Amino acid sequence: MKFKDVTFMLEKNKILLFYPYISKNSLKNLGNTLSSRWIGQGPKVDLFEKKFSKKIVNNKYCLATGSGTDALHLAYILSDIKKGDEVIVPVFTCTATNIPLLYIGAKIKFADIDVKTMNICPKSVKKLISKKTKAIVCVHYGGLPCDMRELNAIAKKNKIKLIEDCAQAVGAKYDGKAIGTFGDYSAFSFQAIKHITTGDGGMLCLNTKKNYKKAKRIRWLGIDREKKHQGTWSNDIKEVGYKYQMTDISATLGLDSLNEFSKILAHRRKIYYTYLKKLSKNRNINCIHDSDAKKIHSAWLFTIALDKKDYLQKKLKNKNIETNQVHFRNDKYSIFKKFAKNCKFPNMDYLEDKYLVLPIHHKLKISEAEYICDEINKVV
C-alpha cells in the first residue's frame, strides 16, 4: 500500500483541525519555477512582495522572509531592541512571538490577556511601562484585531515602538484599516496551515524606505545584493545579517494563494459565523469573540471556553472531530520562567484550562461545521 493511501485511510473519516490550502494552479506553476533559472530568491519573491503590499497592507514596504519568526526578529532588530531593553508582549501567544527576543537578550515583560478576546490587555500593558521599555508587541489572536486605538495611544505617549504580530490575521481589519498597517512594523506568517501558505515563510511590513533597505541587507547576511549584482558592491559588511530570505519556490505557492485569497477568506468567515451563531446560544459556552463593529475577524481560529473543556474534547475525539488548544501561555515554558517571577496573570489563569479551538479550513463544509455545533450542544 502506498503512503498516500495509508494517509487517506487515516483521515477520510476524520474532521481535521487544519488543512493546508494549495491552489490547483500551483503544480503547474511550481514546475515552471523549477524549470527556470531562479529557484532561490528571485523575481517571484519580488512579485509576491509587491502583490501582497498592494492587496493586504495598503502599499506598505514589504519584505518576504523564510518564516514569520524571521520577520519578527528583523522587526525587533530594526526597532533597535538591545540586550537589557524591556519589551512588553502577551503572555498568551505562539512562542515565535517571544523567542527572537531571547536571541537579542531583551527583557520580556509579560502582559495579561483580555478575558473576552484572549488578546493582550491594554490595562495590563500600561502597568508594565517603564523608562526601559523599548516596544510593545501585540498579537491578533486567531485573527481577532487587538484594541489598536488604545495600544497606539500608549505607544505614542511613551515614545516606544508598536510591533504587530499578524501571523494569524491576514485579511483582518480594525476601524476600516487593514491589520498590519497600525504598527511601526508588522509581521505575517505563511506557515503551512495559515490562510496563505508558502510551505513556510513570512512577510515583514515597514513604513519607511530607509528601514526597508536596511532590512533587505540584514535579510541577506548584511550584503547589498542589488549593488553586488551590478558589480558596484564595496565588498564590505557593516551589519550583522542573517539568512532570512524567501525562495521563488515558496513565492510561487504564495502568489497562487494570494490570487485566490478572497475566496479563502470568505469561506473561513462563513465557518466562523456558523460556529458563532449556533454556539453563542449555549449558556455553558463562551465564544472568544468581540462584537465591536470596528473589528473584522480574519477567521483563522474559532475558540470556545468552557468549564468542561477536557470532557468535550474527548467526546468530540470519539466522533472523529479533531480539536486542540493550539497555543499555550508562554510563562510556563522553562525558557521564559525567569521573566514571570512574582507576576500575576488572573485572566490567563482563569482561561488556561478552559479554551478549545474548533476546525476551520477550506475543505471543511458548512454542513460539517453545523454538525460539530450539534455534537457540542448535545454534551455541554
Whether the per-residue pLDDT at 357 is higher than 90: the answer is yes
Rounded Cα–Cα distance for residues 98 and 335 (Å): 10
Share of the chain above pLDDT 70, in %: 97
For residue 5, what pLDDT band results from cuts at 50, 70 and 90? very low
With respect to residue 34, please indicate whether it lies within any of the assigned structural domains: yes
Whether the per-residue pLDDT at 6 is higher than 60: the answer is no
> pLDDT tens across 191-207, in order?
999 999 999 999 999 99
CATH code for the domain in which residue 201 is found: 3.40.640.10
Share of the chain above pLDDT 90, in %: 93
With respect to residue 3, please indicate whether it lies within any of the assigned structural domains: no
Range of the domain at 191: 26-259
Whether the per-residue pLDDT at 378 is higher than 60: the answer is yes
* pLDDT for 10: 44
CB 49, CB 64: distance < 8 Å:
yes
Pick the last residue of a domain from 242, 259, 276: 259
Domain shared by 293 and 346, yes or no: yes
Q: Which amino acid is at 68?
A: G
CATH code for the domain in which residue 292 is found: 3.90.1150.10
With respect to residue 314, please indicate whether it lies within any of the assigned structural domains: yes
φ/ψ region of 123 (left if φ > 0, alpha if ψ in -120 to 50, else beta) reads alpha
Pick the last residue of a domain from 197, 225, 259: 259
With respect to residue 2, please indicate whether it lies within any of the assigned structural domains: no
Domain shared by 241 and 269, yes or no: no
* pLDDT for 315: 98
CB 355, CB 304: distance < 8 Å:
yes
Exposure class string for 177-208: b at 16+ Cβ within 10 A, else e = ebbbbbbbbbbbbbbebbbbbbbbbbbbbbee
CB 313, CB 320: distance < 8 Å:
no
Mean pLDDT, the chain, integer: 95
How many H helices and E strands in the chain? 14, 13
Domain shared by 338 and 224, yes or no: no
Domain shared by 245 and 280, yes or no: no
> pLDDT tens across 310-341, in order?
999 999 999 999 999 999 999 999 999 999 99
Domain shared by 239 and 277, yes or no: no
Domain shared by 227 and 282, yes or no: no
DSSP assignment of 147-167, as one string? -HHHHHHHHHHHT-EEEEE-T
With respect to residue 84, please indicate whether it lies within any of the assigned structural domains: yes
Mean pLDDT computed over 285-298: 97
Whether the per-residue pLDDT at 228 is higher than 80: the answer is yes
Domain shared by 371 and 338, yes or no: yes
Query: 317: how many CB neighbours lie within 10 A of its CB?
Result: 12
Mean pLDDT computed over 122-136: 98
Please state the domain count of the chain.
2
* pLDDT for 16: 98
Domain shared by 176 and 307, yes or no: no
Domain shared by 214 and 304, yes or no: no
Pick the last residue of a domain from 259, 276, 306: 259
With respect to residue 1, please indicate whether it lies within any of the assigned structural domains: no
Whether the per-residue pLDDT at 8 is higher than 80: the answer is no
Mean pLDDT computed over 149-165: 98
Rounded Cα–Cα distance for residues 181 and 179 (Å): 6
Domain shared by 296 and 354, yes or no: yes
Whether the per-residue pLDDT at 1 is higher than 80: the answer is no
With respect to residue 149, please indicate whether it lies within any of the assigned structural domains: yes
Q: Which amino acid is at 53?
A: S
Domain shared by 178 and 87, yes or no: yes
Domain shared by 122 and 232, yes or no: yes
Whether the per-residue pLDDT at 60 is higher than 70: the answer is yes
